[in-house]
Amino acid sequence: MQVTGMLWGSKLLKYVGFPTSEVLGPEATGEQVKDLIDRCGRVFIKPIFKGGVGKKGKLGLMGNCTNLADAMKEKERLYFAEHIQNNNVSKAEGVTFEGGVPAEYEIYFSISDSTEFRAPVITLTHHGGVDIEELPPEKIAVIPFDPLTGLKGFVISNALHKLGAPKELISPLVQNLPKLWDLYHNYGMATLEINPIRMMPGKNGRLIPVACDFKCAFDGDDPSVARLGLPDDLDTSSYSDFEQEVNQLRTYQGQSDVYVINDQGTIAAMTFGGGANALVTELLGDSANLSSDFGGNPPYEKMHDISRIVYKYWLEQSNVLFIIGGKANNTDIYETFRAMADALRDHFNKYGPTPLYVVVGRGGPNLIRGLGYLRDTLDSLGIPYQMFGYDSAMSEVVNYAQAADEWMKKGGREQIAKKLGITE
Amino acid sequence: MHPQGVEAFPHYYVGVNSLDDLVSKDDRICVLNITGGESRTVTPVSHVFSGGNIVCGTAPGRSGSSMKTKIGNIPVFDNLPQALAAGHEFNTVVVYLPPGGVRDGVIEAIRVVSNLKKIVILTEKVPVHDARIIRAVGQMHGVDIFGANCLGLADAHKQIRIGGALGGSHPAESLVPGSVAIYSNSGNFTTTIAVYLLTGGWGTTVSYSSGKDVYIHFGALEWTHAFHNDDRSKCAVMYIEPGGYYEHKLEFNKPVVACIVGRWKAKLTKACGHAGAIAGTGDNAEAKEDWFKEKFEVDDIFSPENPVCSAKGAVVTNIAHIPAAMTAVMALGKAEPDFAPRGDLSLKCWFSNTQGLDLPAALKPALVEALEPYNDQIAALSEQVGAVFPRQAMKDTSGASMMDPKTQVTRIHGTTVLDASTHSFEENLVQSLTREYPDANGTAMTNVMLNAFVNQAGKVGLAAADAAREAGNSPNTSLSSAVALVGPNQVANARTAAAALVELFKKSGIEDASDTRYDFSSQVAEADASLFTMGEPCALSDNIAAAFEARGANSIFVNFVKAVAEKAGAQLSAAALMAATTTHVAWKALMRKRISAITVRNIPWHFKIFSTLVGSAAAGDQQSADTFCGVANSDLLNSWSFSETAHLALLGKRPNEEELYSFSVLLGLIITNGPGTISAQGAKGAVSADGPEVPERIQINKGYIGFLTHTGYAHGGNGYEAISFLVDRFKDSGLTDPGSKDHGLDLKAMATTYAKEYLAYKIKAKAAGNIGYAKIPCTGHPVFKGEAVNYDPREAFVGKLFEERGDYNVFHEFYKELVQSLFDTGVTKNVFCVNVDAVIAVLLLKMLWQPYAEGKISDNTMESAAFTTFLFGRMIGSAAEIDDHTNRGKNMDTRTAASKCKYAG
């Protein structure tokens, strides 16, 4: 799950007492917005995108107004704004109104886990407010630190000295930035980025760091995020209905990772193992409708549930049901194939038969019993199939599945439909 | 802040200097959570393969037990201090704990094991938060950590594996000694690459599955250093996925083939598959291809068509190209493969069915004989008939029934009890055992066969049931005494005949047992006639055969047993006809491997019990040699359905069409509430105690006794509570026909009057501090609540069924008025649902009302009839559980561990 923007960002930052800009949600009345403008001098209107939307491509997707009439016009313009980046289209669901924060300096700050240092690192610069990739390396400090002691003030202080940051920045940042480690480490985050933190003059001219934008991603395997009590629908835009339904099955025994590759795809690939997932999805390209990894020896019940959901969403449009994996180390082929076969039979019983070609490549414990069970099921359902030994190159089996898909597109589907007595 | 390990890594701790040290003969291992689901299958194989390198394991609460392996048992302790105190010494800990326990397990191991060198973490989905801490703690104490989410380490030369399941259940098949070291982000591909390499003539040294979490504690850099220092490893394969900078700074001094897969992952916005395989622009697959191309000084990806490589190495993007790339790279350094290629990677089709479709040649691959030992297994598969279910502990578990907690609707073999209630009693009895509903012939034969054995006149069992009733027992207790007498000897002939039929016809290719065109002359020639015939004339057998004809029932198996008897010139036995009938109804499911041969052999026994249970429900004085409850045996055989017979046994008359429908629905609704219900627990416990691992010894009749003893006045008899409630409302109403809309009663007024009475009672009871005041039966439900108006979907389903038929039930209508009145008068805060138990009560009462109103039956008889009806319905579900447990269960698997039992002092 990812959270972007200050509407929820400000709530999260308040858990650790980090100062934030004032934020109103889409439900704010004109009176409230006017009041915010009166107090802060200006208001920024930003579209709310669910899930992870980065800074890139956001150009023009922000209003900057000093009166209510303009603010309302901007609200109308941005309420359903679209953000396009790398073919991913996100549609806004409302806007936030964020009070302006007068400042001379803008800070970029993030915490993540570095594969280079194999430790948590901070990335810090006082040249913030822009894409971090646009800055030269000497303007950025990337500092690893010990997770057992946590992020301490001296780490911040050293980093700022290294960057040659103005002195007035050091004390307020040393005082406030370590709070963000608590948020990061204790609530299951995998990345946390605040850009910009605007350094607002407070009483006596001392600067106060104020978070003005927020982005974080949570570790899907960390239950600590539940402690924040975030609403379930905060990041629904990142997940299709299908993905959400499968995600509910996440338990530690057995993978159940799925990703919709092409919702028009015609090969439903049930893939076992992270490696097979990477390879098969790459080779299938757009002909696949989903990318999946169901390895890790899922028990019968879980595999049955997964199959039921996959079939429910994808079988009707699919030409080929493609079951593929390497030679399993510990995944029981009989249990997993029995579950897939039973779910297929149940699917046909419930929704009626659908024209299908089944291609299988697999190895592992109880292999022949598993293949035999699926064979008998497909025989009884009247579905054509080929099952290949694990000593066949996986890429060749993928090519075969694609050939079957092509044949289905060129009249094969009708042939099978006729055999099964269905009129499409 | 870390001890100094290998000198090449001054800034952090690394203990392993050579791949030769990665897996050592001296490594002694303790497995945490050794009895966990995955470890249970993997650890014994590792132990045996490695010549016994596991000294002990831990599993909380299991101290004193052991894990059995072929080369001796591995002792299990509650925790590490206990294992150490017992004198076990080990330097390696393998972690199979659930994700939430991994961090603490690692910290504990490092804290208490003084000589600890290596920790291998198999667990998937360890939070990054915990990996951070694990890394820091391991570094501080100088322990090498592998994983998490890895599959461990294996050395083909030493034939040792540590941690996970590299090489699967038969490691020696894949881990063949050679000169290639493997580093793989994918556990499965570690083995798959080793298998692929064999086809190029390459064996392996050390295989290492690194895992692909964000934190890889023993990463590519440390591995490469160890690879360089291992003289056995002449070259290496690295399988690398996007994400992370682990490989960025690698420098090699031996040849390497790098397989980089996952360009498509650049599209991902969240991890799919490996948690750490999500990349930015600098560490995506394309970037990694470039890193390695630069290292190997090549300008393209290697493929068989474009074999670009240098003596330093090659980059491939398809694992199938690894063997060819390895051979090409090594040839440049004048090195030959380790041995002659073993097999190849061409497409090998093991199973195919083109279903007679007009396919292009490319989609009609020739079948290839599988490599050993799979070829023998495939040959054996064609010999095996029916399903063979894996045995597992079946406590509270069922392969027959399942309740959906959301809808509260239970399924039996995938069919909801709601749908089952639209089928007849006999169809549901068959489905409970064969998982499929019988065809018309099967139903007709089932009716004949169940009716043939329903008359219990002169049988000891009936005398026992009568005596039990006389002694004041409830119906279930009385009936169990009759069922006890249907022991294995009573059904031995029919079971033997059923098994013989399966053996004779298993390769016949018959799909539909009703298709009597099949020529069974070869089976007749082969058959042992003594299994299907008897020495003396048998009227019952003749009557059954005649009844089949009277009903026009066609079956290959009936024709076959007749032909065998005719050829032998002997009397066909009733047992043979029973076997023919049960094999007929089971055949399709058996051929499709939905049921086992064990089940087919047992169905005659179940059938005999069905007849006995229904027959013994009628008192002895209702039965004579020729009649049952006043109906001639021949009539039952020739024209009655078993549903009608059950109705007759219960209420003394043949039901009309409407009554029969209600009766069937009623029995259908009662079939099951899932494996947790007490009656199912009783049945399963009885099977478990006989030891299903030797299925021949299971006493099926005892299973039914288990079901019967696990019903009673509270479970099964409680339907009477609602009946009694309704009787109180209607006894003075003058109602004669509850099925007629013209009853002349003002149901609304009756409901309102009662609601007001109840309100007054409730207020008074509460004022008196009586919290346990009487509740109105069958209204409300813990799941179907909270709306302004609530419905139990099961009640709604049945209500609609009857509405569509135009069947009326005054008691059901009264219940609907009642929940509304309870709301209107303020007894309830919203309109409660009428729950499914009410439906059962109103259907029952409608059946019983007329004889009750006419004074023909007493309250006691009515209660007993209600209870017996429940037993008939639940007999269906119990049959399914008994058979399922017989097929899947383990000996004594329903017992509760002493540690989970409580003492209430």
CATH number, domain containing residue A202:
3.30.470.20
B128 in a structural domain:
yes
A234 lies in some domain: no
The whole-number average pLDDT for the span A349-361 is 91
**How far is the C-alpha of B622 from the C-alpha of B645, rounded, in Å?**
13
Cβ <8 Å between B345 and A258: no
Return the amino acid letter for A61.
L
CA distance B527 to B271: 62
Give the residue, A134 or A148, on which the prediction is more confident: A148
In this prediction, residue A236 carries a pLDDT of 56
pLDDT-based confidence at A52, cuts 50/70/90?
low
Same domain as B753, residue B685: yes
Residues B498-551 pLDDT 10s: 999 999 999 898 989 999 999 999 999 999 999 999 999 999 999 999 999 999
pLDDT at B63: 92
pLDDT in tens, B873-903: 999 999 999 999 999 999 999 999 888 899 9
Task: Specify the amino acid at residue A220.
Answer: G
pLDDT digits (tens, 9 = 90+) for B92-110: 999 999 999 999 999 999 9
What ipTM, to 2 d.p.?
0.84
- For the segment B263-281, the average pLDDT, to the nearest whole number, is 68
Q: Do A299 and B37 touch (CB under 8 A)?
A: yes
The pLDDT value recorded for residue A249 is: 75
Q: Which of B269, B364, B398 should be substituted to probe chain A, the one whose Cβ sees the most A Cβ atoms within 10 Å? A: B269
Task: Mark whether A258 and A358 lie in a shared domain.
Answer: yes
Q: Judge whether residue A204 has pLDDT over 80.
A: yes
CA–CA gap between residue B415 and residue B407 (Å, rounded): 14
Q: Tell me whether A150 touches chain B (CB under 8 Å).
A: no
Q: In which region does residue B728 sit, left (phi positive, over 0), alpha (psi from -120 to 50) or beta (all else)? A: alpha
> Measured between beta carbons, which residues in chain B are less than 8 angstroms from residue A52?
269
**Do the Cβ atoms of A83 and A47 come closer than 8 Å?**
yes
Mean pLDDT of B177-206: 94
Domain boundary among A59, A83, A100: A100
Domain match, A260 and A344 both: yes
Residue A290 φ/ψ, nearest 5 degrees? -140, 155
pLDDT value, residue A57: 59
Do B451 and B416 share a structural domain? no
Q: Which range (A366-375, B257-266, B289-298, B522-531) has the least confidence? A: B257-266
Give the residue with greater pLDDT, B451 vs B780: B451
Residues A123 and A144 placed together within one structural domain of the fold: yes
Out of A187, A211, A229, a domain closes at A229
Helices (H), B209-336: 220-228, 285-296, 322-332
Token representation of residue B694: 């030797």
Nearest-CB residue to A275 (from B124, B188, B352): B188
Q: Look at residue B443 and tell me whether its pLDDT is greater than 60.
A: yes
Whether B360 is in a domain gets the answer no
**Does residue B53 lie within any of the structural domains?**
no
Q: Are residues B733 and B873 in the same domain?
A: yes
Dihedral of alpha carbons B454, B457, B460, B465, sign: positive
Q: Count CB atoms within 10 A of the CB of residue B119.
A: 27
Chosen domain end from B271, B298, B332: B332
Instruction: Using alpha carbons, list the distances in angstroms from residue B695 to A35, B488, B686, B879, B901.
Output: 80, 13, 13, 15, 29
Q: How many domains in chain A? A: 3
Same structural domain for residues A123 and A5?
yes
Domain co-membership, B136 together with B225? yes
**Neighbouring residues of B135: CB distance < 8 A, sequence distance ≥ 6:** A118, A119, A147, B145, B215, B217
Asked if the structure places residue A110 within a domain, the reply is yes
Domain at B222, CATH number: 3.40.50.261
pLDDT-based confidence at residue A234 (cuts at 50, 70, 90): confident
Beta-sheet pairing, A320-327 with B410-412: unpaired
Retrieve residue B287's tokens: 């970037």
Burial pattern B551-583, b for ≥16 Cβ within 10 A else e, equals: bebbbbbbebbbbbbeebebbbbbbbbbbbbbb
Give residue A58's pLDDT: 65
Same domain, A6 and A37: no
Q: What number is the average pLDDT over the span A191-211?
A: 92
For B394, residues 6+ apart whose C-beta sits below 8 A from its C-beta are B684, B688, B884, B885, B888, B889, B890, B893, B894
| Best mean pLDDT range from A43-57, B262-276, B378-392 | B378-392
pLDDT band at A243 (very low <50, low <70, confident <90, very high): confident
Instruction: Specify whether B388 is located in the same domain as B442.
Output: no
Q: Does one domain contain both B414 and B450? A: no
Res B356: pLDDT: 83
Interchain contact A168–B (C-beta under 8 A)? no
B592 interface with A at CB cutoff 8 Å: yes
A203 has pLDDT over 90: no
Residues of B in contact with A335 (CB under 8 A): 390
For B175-234, the DSSP string reads --EEEEEEEES-HHHHHHHHHHHHTTT--EEEEEE---SS--SS-HHHHHHHHHT-TT--
Which pLDDT score, from 0 to 100, does residue B122 have?
Answer: 94
Confidence of residue B823 (pLDDT cuts 50, 70, 90): very high
Residue B86 confidence (pLDDT) above 80 = yes
Q: Residue B402 in 3-state DSSP?
A: strand
Name the least confident of A108-112, A249-253, B332-336.
A249-253
| Shortest CA gap A127–chain B (Å) | 22
The nearest CA of chain A is from the CA of B827 a distance in Å of 36
Q: Is residue A36 part of a domain?
A: yes
Euclidean distance between CA atoms A151 and A228, whole angstroms: 21
Which of A281-285, B237-241, B402-406, B722-726 shows the highest mean pLDDT? B237-241
Instruction: State whether residue A365 sits within 8 Å of chain B by CB.
Output: yes
pLDDT for residue A349? 77
Contacts of B29 (CB under 8 A, 6+ apart): B53, B54, B55, B90, B92, B93, B94, B162
pLDDT value, residue B279: 65
What pLDDT score does B333 carry?
95
Give yes or no for B277 touching A (CB within 8 A): yes
Positive or negative, the CA dihedral A275, A278, A283, A288 is: positive
pLDDT > 70: what percent of chain B?
98
Q: Is B246 helix (H, G, I), strand (E, B) or coil?
A: coil
- Whether residue B385 lies within 8 A of chain A, CB to CB, comes out as no
* Contact call for B374 and A367, based on CB within 8 A: yes
Query: Scanning every residue of chain B, which has its alpha carbon at the shortest distance from the alpha carbon of A383?
Result: B355
Residue with tokens 């087919």: B600
Q: Find the closest chain A residue to B281 by CA distance.
A: A133
Q: What is the pLDDT of residue A59?
A: 66
Identify whether B741 is part of a domain.
Answer: yes
Q: What is the domain extent for residue B881?
A: 384-420+661-897
Partner residue facing A380 (CB), from B166, B174, B592: B592
Check whether residue A120 and residue A149 sit in a common domain. Answer: yes
With pLDDT > 90 as the criterion, what percentage of chain B qualifies?
Answer: 79
Q: By the CB < 8 Å criterion, does A390 face chain B?
A: yes
In this structure, of B3-17, B91-105, B858-872, the range with the lowest mean pLDDT score is B858-872
A150 and A111, same structural domain? yes
pLDDT of residue A86: 61
**The pLDDT value given to residue A330:** 83
- Whether residue B649 is found in the same domain as residue B786: no
Contact criterion met (CB < 8 Å) for A327 and B168: yes
Q: Could you tell me if B435 and B398 are in contact, meaning their C-beta atoms sit under 8 angstroms apart?
A: no
Q: Return the ∠ at Cα A140 (arms to A134 and A146), rounded to 5°.
A: 135
- The stretch A399-412 carries a mean pLDDT of 95
Based on the fold, state whether residues B546 and B607 are members of the same structural domain: yes
Q: Which two tokens stand for residue A55?
A: 């800074």
Give, as one character, the DSSP assignment of residue B623. Answer: B
- B215 and B194 fall within a common domain: yes
Query: Are A249 and A343 in the same domain?
Result: yes
Q: State which of B590, B621, B654 marks the end of a domain.
A: B654
pLDDT at residue B500, rounded to an integer:
97
Q: How many CB pairs under 8 A join A and B?
A: 303
Q: What is the DSSP string of A2-49?
A: EEESHHHHHHHHHHTT--B--EE-TT--HHHHHHHHHHHS-EEEEE--
Q: Summarize chain B as % helix, strand, coil (round to 5).
A: 50, 10, 40
Taken in order A226, A230, A232, A234, is the CA torsion positive or negative?
A: negative
Read off the pLDDT of residues A138-175 as tens digits, 9 standing for 90 and up: 999 999 999 999 999 999 999 999 999 999 999 999 99
Average pLDDT over residues B286-299: 96
Distance between terminal CA atoms of chain B?
55
Question: B318 in contact with A at a CB cutoff of 8 Å?
Answer: yes
A106 has a pLDDT exceeding 60: yes
Q: Are A49 and A3 members of one domain?
A: no
Q: State whether B388 and A372 contact (CB < 8 Å).
A: no
At B147, the amino acid letter reads G
Distance CA A378, CA B355 (A): 10
- pLDDT for res A191: 93
A329/chain B closest Cα distance in angstroms: 4
Structure tokens that stand for B446 in this block:
């089932």
- Contact B271/A373, CB-based, under 8 Å? no
Q: Which residue, of A229, A252, A282, is where some domain finishes?
A: A229
A220 pLDDT band, cuts 50/70/90, is: confident
Ordered DSSP codes for B729-771: HHTTTT---TT-S-----HHHHHHHHHHHHHHHHHHHHHTT-T
SS (H, E, C) B685-714: HHHHHHCCCCHHHCCHHHHHHHHHHCCECC
CB contact under 8 A, A221 and B320: no
Nearest chain A CA: its distance from B841 CA (Å): 31
| pLDDT band for position B442 (cuts 50, 70, 90) | very high
Q: Rounded mean pLDDT of A61-73?
A: 90
> B 27-46 residues with CB below 8 A of A?
37-38, 41-42
Instruction: Quote the pLDDT of residue A250.
Output: 64
- Give B692-706 pLDDT, tens digit per residue: 999 999 999 999 999
Q: Who among A148, A274, A386 is closest to B133 (CB)?
A: A148
Name, in order, each residue with C-beta under 8 angstroms of B588's C-beta and a sequence gap of 6 or more.
B434, B436, B511, B512, B513
Asked, for residue B551, whether it belongs to a domain, the answer is yes
Give the pLDDT confidence score for residue B402 in this predicted structure: 86
Q: Is the pLDDT of residue A354 over 70?
A: yes
What residue of A is the nearest CA neighbor of B166? Answer: A329
A248 and A377 assigned to the same domain: yes
Name the β-bridge partners of A268.
A321
Could you give the CA distance from residue A301 to residue A309 in angstroms, rounded to a whole number?
12
**Range with lowest mean pLDDT among B170-174, B568-572, B693-697:** B170-174
Which of B:231-270 have CB within 8 Å of A?
Answer: 239, 241, 243-246, 248, 261-270
- A326 touching B (Cβ < 8 Å): yes
DSSP run (H or E) holding B415: strand B415-416
Q: Which of B296, B314, B332 is the last residue of a domain?
A: B332
* B853 shares a domain with B826: yes
**Domain that includes residue A184, residue range:** 1-15+102-229
Query: Do the domain assignments include residue A315?
Result: yes
CATH of the domain at A244: 3.40.50.261
Residue whose C-alpha is closest to residue B585's, from B503, B514, B508: B514
pLDDT at A51 (0 to 100): 60
Q: Is residue B37 part of a domain?
A: no
* Contacts B277 to A, Cβ<8 Å: 274, 278
pLDDT at A128: 84
Same-domain check for residues A334 and A371: yes
- Mean pLDDT for all residues in chain B: 93
pLDDT tens, residue by residue, B411-421: 898 788 999 99
Q: Which of A222, A276, A297 sits opposite B127 (nearest CB)?
A: A222
- Are B631 and B690 contained in the same domain? no
Lowest mean pLDDT among A357-361, A377-381, B454-458, B555-559: A377-381
Residue at A51: amino acid letter: G
Which among B801, B842, B793, B837 has a CA at the least distance from the CA of B409? Answer: B793
Residue pointed to by tokens 């669901």: A93
> Is residue B407 located within the same domain as residue B447?
no
| Calpha distance B486→B743 (Å, rounded) | 47
Whether the CB of A305 is below 8 Å from some CB of chain B: the reply is: no
Is residue B9 in a domain?
no
Q: Is the pLDDT of residue A112 over 70?
A: yes
Q: Which residue in B182, B199, B350, B377 has the most chain A C-beta atoms within 10 A of its own C-beta, making it the best mutation to test that interface?
A: B350
Query: What confidence score (pLDDT) does residue B715 get?
Result: 80
**Model confidence over B634-663: pLDDT tens digits?**
999 999 999 999 999 998 999 999 999 999
Whether residue B127 and residue A283 make contact (CB cut-off 8 A), yes or no, is no
A118 with A210, same domain: the answer is yes
Looking at the structure of chain B, the number of domains it has is: 3
* pLDDT at A21 > cutoff 60: yes
Identify the residue among A115, A131, A291, A416 best suited for mutation to test binding to B, counting B beta carbons within 10 A and taking the highest: A115
Say whether residue B287 is in contact with chain A using an 8 A CB cutoff. no
Distance (Å, rounded) from C-alpha A173 to C-alpha A161?
Answer: 12
Q: By the CB < 8 Å criterion, does A404 face chain B?
A: yes
For residues B21 and B222, what is the distance between their CA atoms, to the nearest angstrom? 13
CB contact set of B85 (below 8 Å; sequence gap of 6+): none
CA distance A103 to chain B (A): 31
Tell me how close the Cα of B480 comes to any Cα of chain A, in angstroms: 35
Note which residues in 293-312 of chain B have CB less than 8 A from chain A.
none
Confidence of residue A87 (pLDDT cuts 50, 70, 90): low
Q: What pLDDT sits at residue B783?
A: 82
Chain B positions touching A388 (Cβ under 8 A) are: 347-350
- For residues B63-70, average pLDDT: 93
Pick the residue with more confidence: B494 or B865? Answer: B494
Q: Is A163 exposed, middle or buried (0-12, 13-18, 19+ CB in 10 A)?
A: middle
Contact in structure between B671 and B417 (CB atoms under 8 Å): yes
Supply the pLDDT for residue B794. 85
Q: Which residues pair with B266 in a beta bridge?
A: none
Cβ neighbours of residue B299 under 8 Å, at least 6 residues apart?
A: B293, B308
